[in-house]
């Protein structure tokens, strides 16, 4: 079965919602014969809540999440990261910076669990 990858990263506040970066990564992933779930194809005009509900539903179908640079500064991408962790998805990164941010968030979450 072909692996399914969901792309996650900052969109709100970015020129054209960062579609060019999402689409560039989607093309690269497709060239590796992966099925790509790309939120950059959503239509304009919906609320942030509507976009998040669609994204989280798409994420439920994925085997992996691909984190773009700056994902840790995006409320939506952080929610997607947390959901992907909860469902034990594979994590992919487009840079060491994205990886470091994921490692830091995981350490922070483990620290919170140890405090409880």
Domain ranges of the chain: 4-115
pTM of the full structure: 0.89
Q: What are the pLDDT digits (tens) for 23-81?
A: 999 999 999 999 999 999 999 999 999 999 999 999 999 999 999 999 999 999 999 99
Tokens at residue 49, please?
């809540």
Q: What is the pLDDT of residue 115?
A: 61
CATH topology classification for 4-115: Rossmann fold (3.40.50)
User: What is the Cα 33 distance to its own chain's centre?
Assistant: 19
> What is the β-pairing status of strands 64-67 and 35-37?
unpaired
Instruction: State whether residue 116 is helix, strand or coil.
Output: coil
């Amino acid at each position: 079965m072909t692996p399914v990858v969901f792309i996650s990263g900052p969109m709100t506040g970015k020129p054209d919602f960062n579609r060019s970066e999402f689409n560039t990564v989607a093309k690269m992933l497709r060239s590796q014969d992966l099925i790509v779930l790309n939120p950059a194809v959503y239509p304009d005009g919906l609320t942030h809540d509507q976009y998040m509900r669609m994204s989280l539903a798409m994420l439920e179908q994925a085997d992996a999440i691909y984190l773009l640079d700056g994902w840790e500064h995006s409320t939506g991408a952080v929610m997607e990261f947390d959901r992907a962790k909860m469902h034990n998805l594979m994590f992919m990164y487009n840079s060491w910076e994205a990886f470091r941010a994921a490692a830091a968030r995981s350490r922070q979450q483990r620290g919170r669990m140890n405090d409880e």
